[in-house]
Amino acid sequence: MRTISLLGSTGSIGRQSLDVIAACGASVAAITANSSVELLEQQARQFHPKLVVCYDPAAASDIRTRLADTDIRVASGMEGLIEAATIPEADTVITAVVGNVGLRPTLAAIKAKKRIALANKETLVCAGELVMRTAKEYGAEIIPVDSEHSALFQCIQGSADHGEIKKLILTCSGGPFFGKTRDELKNYTRADALKHPTWKMGAKITIDCATLMNKGLEFIEAMRLYQVTPDQVDIAIHRQSIVHSLVEFRDNAILAQLGVPDMRLPIQYALTYPKRLPSVVEPLDLFSCPPLSFQRPDTETFQCLKLALDCARKPGVACAVLNGANEAAVGLFLKDQIRFLEIGELVAKALEVVPDGPADTLEQILDADRAAREAVYAAR
Ligand code: MG
CATH of the domain at 165: 1.10.1740.10
Query: Number of helices and strands (H, E) in the chain?
Result: 16, 11
Q: What is the pTM of this model?
A: 0.95
Whether residue 161 sits in one domain with residue 95 = no
CATH of residue 105: 3.40.50.720
Residue 379 alpha carbon to ligand 1 centre in Å: 29
Query: Mean of the per-residue pLDDT values for the chain?
Result: 96
- For residue 252, the 8-state DSSP code is S
Of the candidates 163, 100, 108, the one whose C-alpha atom is nearest the C-alpha of residue 140 is: 108
Mean pLDDT by 10 residues, the chain (380 residues): 96 96 96 97 98 97 98 98 98 94 96 97 94 97 97 93 92 95 90 79 90 98 96 98 97 98 97 95 96 97 98 97 97 94 97 96 96 97
Residue 130 alpha carbon to ligand 1 centre in Å: 22
Element of type H or E holding 107: helix 103-111
Residue 137 alpha carbon to ligand 1 centre in Å: 27
Residue 148 alpha carbon to ligand 1 centre in Å: 5
Residue 199 alpha carbon to ligand 1 centre in Å: 10
Whether residue 173 sits in one domain with residue 80 = no
Number of domains in the chain: 2
Residue 338 alpha carbon to ligand 1 centre in Å: 25
Please report which residue ranges of 139-281 form alpha helices under DSSP H.
147-156, 182-185, 190-193, 203-211, 213-226, 264-272
Whether residue 210 sits in one domain with residue 326 = yes
Flag whether 330 is in a domain: yes
Residue 216 alpha carbon to ligand 1 centre in Å: 10
Whether residue 127 sits in one domain with residue 45 = yes
CB 250 within 8 A of CB 232: no
Order of all β-strands in the sheet with 233-237: 233-237, 165-172, 243-249, 254-258
Instruction: Taking the CA atoms of 370, 378, 313 and 211 in sequence, report the sign of the dihedral they define.
Output: positive
Residue 147 alpha carbon to ligand 1 centre in Å: 5
Last residue of a domain, one of 144, 174, 206: 144
Residue 219 alpha carbon to ligand 1 centre in Å: 10
Instruction: Return d(Cα 373, Cα 380) in angstroms, integer.
Output: 11
Give the pLDDT score at 100.
86
Residue 200 alpha carbon to ligand 1 centre in Å: 11
Last residue of a domain, one of 115, 144, 173: 144
CA distances (Å), origin 364, targets 124, 140, 285, 315: 15, 23, 49, 13
Residue 284 alpha carbon to ligand 1 centre in Å: 19
Give the pLDDT score at 359.
95
Q: Domain range holding 64? A: 3-144
Please name the residues in contact with 350: beta carbons below 8 A apart, sequence gap of 6 or more.
321, 322, 324, 325, 328, 371, 372, 375, 376, 379
Give the pLDDT score at 201.
79
Residue 238 alpha carbon to ligand 1 centre in Å: 13
